[in-house]
Structure 1
Amino acid sequence: MATSLKIDGGLKSRVQQLANIRRRSAHWIMLEAIQQYVDREEARDWLNNWGTDDETTVPECHK
């Protein structure tokens, strides 16, 4: 699935600088950031429902 992402020049520059320092591609840096964000949000949703009638199963560990 191809997805396009528009980011401002300042953020683009910061991502590229970080990619250079980490010896990774800017693409890798952005994918890692998105994955961490999604994992964190899924865990937060689960915690907010923990112990309620709407409680769901524990989110899958992706690591």
Structure 2
Amino acid sequence: MATSVKLDEDLKNRIQHLAEARHRSSHWIMREAIRDYVEREEKRESLKQDALRAWEAYQKDGLHLTLEEADAWLEKLEAGDDVELPKCHI
């Protein structure tokens, strides 16, 4: 699918300079930049939706972990311990 994007001269020149430095085409640089942006924004949207679902679940049932409980669990994971997620409580 061909798509055109209007860019100002400064940005065009920056892309061209980067393409030359990387021994790539301007098209490749723009395609990679758009792909990276879309992937990052998809992850951000997914995180946002996860947070909204968690908030809705909390409002419904009140189950949660405290910050201290979550931090202690994460510290154990970082240390390489094979620990399960603590039980949520009201």
Alignment length (residue pairs):
54
Matches within 5 A, 1:18-57: 18-51=18-51, 52=53
The one-letter code sitting in structure 2 at the alignment partner of 1:14 is: R
RMSD: 1.5
Q: Which runs of 5+ in 1 are unaligned?
A: 55-63
1:15 to 2:33 alignment:
no
Rounded Cα–Cα distance in structure 2 between residues aligned with 1:36 and 1:21: 19
Gaps of 5+ in 2: 57-90
TM-score, structure 2 as length reference: 0.57
Query: What is the rounded CA distance, in whole Å, between the counterparts of 2:4 and 2:21 in structure 1?
Result: 24
Between the aligned residues of both structures, percent identity stands at 54
Normalized per residue, which structure has more helix?
Answer: 2
Name the structure 2 match of 1:5: 5
Q: CA deviation at 1:49?
A: 1.2
SS across alignment from 1:28: helix
Amino acid at match of 1:5: V
4+ residue runs over 6 A deviation: none
Largest Rg, 1 or 2:
2
Normalising by structure 1, we get a TM-score of 0.80
